[in-house]
Amino acid sequence: MTSPTREASRKPGTHRENVLTVRVAGQPIIVAGLSRRLFEHLSAILRPFREPLSPVEDVLCFFVRRGMSQRGERQWTITRDDGTWVGAYSDPQVLLTQLEWHVIAAGLSASTRHAVFHAAALARDDATLMLIGASGAGKSTLTLGLLQRGWQPFGDDVLLVEAETLALASFPRCFRAEGAVTRQLAASPLVEILRGVTTFARPLAWAPRGLRPTAFACVSRDPAQPALLSSLSQAEMAGMLLEAAIGNQMPRSGVARVAAHMVAGAHGCRRLNNGDLEQSLDLLESLAK
């Protein structure tokens, strides 16, 4: 039987020698058609997920073709193996960012074993802290700040929870070090900044498997107000977790069960206004005790 990587490399107009194979949340995925330089950069970004694939596996494929736009600009086009058009990009850094996201999203959406949440989580000693909040609330910055204080992350943006055991699974996706404070925190011996793609940063150590959340914080950010923890009921927290769920192959009822049982087993649920970084970190550590 012909291997999936060989079949993928036969797409017209692709670079046949640069075929990246990864496994995300159990789903095998191929990216074919990258130039050598882009292949090396994407390989570095997705390094924890890289894995040889079996010829008999049902893989998802992304194809990249370089061409020219109607305005005569250099352009890369991404398509799926079923012909679905994903996007066209003229900036190689934007291309890499989009490819990373589409590969991660494709793996997560195909997952059946995990409930998936737009959240961050960290562990230290007997405490496991889970943070939810909208994009821009500061989850990544808070995660990097807690990392400097001896916490180990499960992830800063995507969190996988085993449906049967409610255990958190580390998801070693790169952090996006885009804001000034986040970039400063990422410039640490505990974090690897990727060469050539400096907005991507990856912690060197991750939290161990098998832990359940012991405390939850719903993070928002109003810099005009002080850092503050306020009360949140378990029912409210479970509802917010369900809203933060990322859709995949698990039924919605199963995700709701995971959210409710996780919160029921925790000792603290709070809202956090992330008004000041150091004060917010102090408050999160007090919540986690």
User: Can you give 114-154 as a three-state secondary structure string?
Assistant: EEEEEEEEEEECCEEEEEECCCCCCHHHHHHHHHHCCCEEE
- What letters, b where the CB count within 10 A reaches 16 and e where it falls short, cover 5-31? bebbbebeebbeebbbbbbbbebbbbb
Residue 179 carries which DSSP code? S
Angular region, 183: left φ>0, alpha ψ -120 to 50, beta rest:
alpha
The whole-model pTM stands at: 0.89
- Please give the chain's pLDDT, 289 residues, in tens: 344 444 554 444 444 568 999 999 999 999 999 999 999 999 999 999 999 988 888 899 999 999 987 777 889 999 998 899 999 999 999 999 999 999 999 999 998 889 999 999 999 999 999 999 998 899 999 999 999 999 999 999 999 999 999 999 999 999 988 777 777 887 889 999 888 887 899 999 999 989 999 999 999 999 999 999 999 999 999 999 999 999 999 999 999 999 999 999 999 999 999 999 999 999 999 999 8
- DSSP states of 66-82 as a string? EEE-TTS-EEEEEEETT
Identify whether the C-beta of residue 102 lies closer than 8 Å to the C-beta of residue 22. Answer: no
CA–CA dist 184, 198 (Å, integer): 12
Identify whether the C-beta of residue 259 lies closer than 8 Å to the C-beta of residue 218. Answer: no
Cα end-to-end span (Å), the chain: 55
Single out the residue of 202, 217, 226, 224 nearest to residue 272, CA to CA: 217
Output the pLDDT for position 9: 45
HSE-up of residue 167 (Cα within 13 Å, Cβ side): 10
Looking up tokens 């085993």, which residue turns up?
Answer: 162
CA–CA dist 130, 132 (Å, integer): 7
Q: Under DSSP, is residue 41 helix (H, G, I), strand (E, B) or coil?
A: helix
Identify whether the C-beta of residue 122 lies closer than 8 Å to the C-beta of residue 209. Answer: no
Show me where the domains of the chain are located: 4-110, 114-288
Q: Tell the CATH topology of 114-288.
A: Phosphoenolpyruvate Carboxykinase; domain 3 (3.90.228)
- Tokens matching residue 217: 């914080």
